[in-house]
Amino acid sequence: PKLPSALLAVALVFIGILSFTCGLILDTVVKGTRKQYELQVTRAYISHKK
């Protein structure tokens, strides 16, 4: 009788873990992209300054 509730709980935990993992991956990608952008801006500023 408690099986549907248990399945729902397991599904919600799985969705939570999956969302957390996707968030970590996206955060890492955004940080890398932002770092590359900052480096490009700095290089452009230095080359324009010369």
**Residue ranges of the domains in the chain?**
1-50
Length of the chain as a residue count: 50
Helix then strand then coil, in percent of the chain rounded to 5, is 95, 0, 5
Instruction: Encode the chain (50 residues) as per-residue pLDDT tens digits.
Output: 668 988 999 999 999 999 999 999 999 999 999 999 999 999 999 999 87
Check residue 49 and give its pLDDT.
Answer: 86
* pTM greater than 0.85: no
Check residue 1 and give its pLDDT.
Answer: 63
Closest CA to 34 of 22, 42, 23, 45: 42
Helix (H, G, I), strand (E, B) or coil at 19: helix
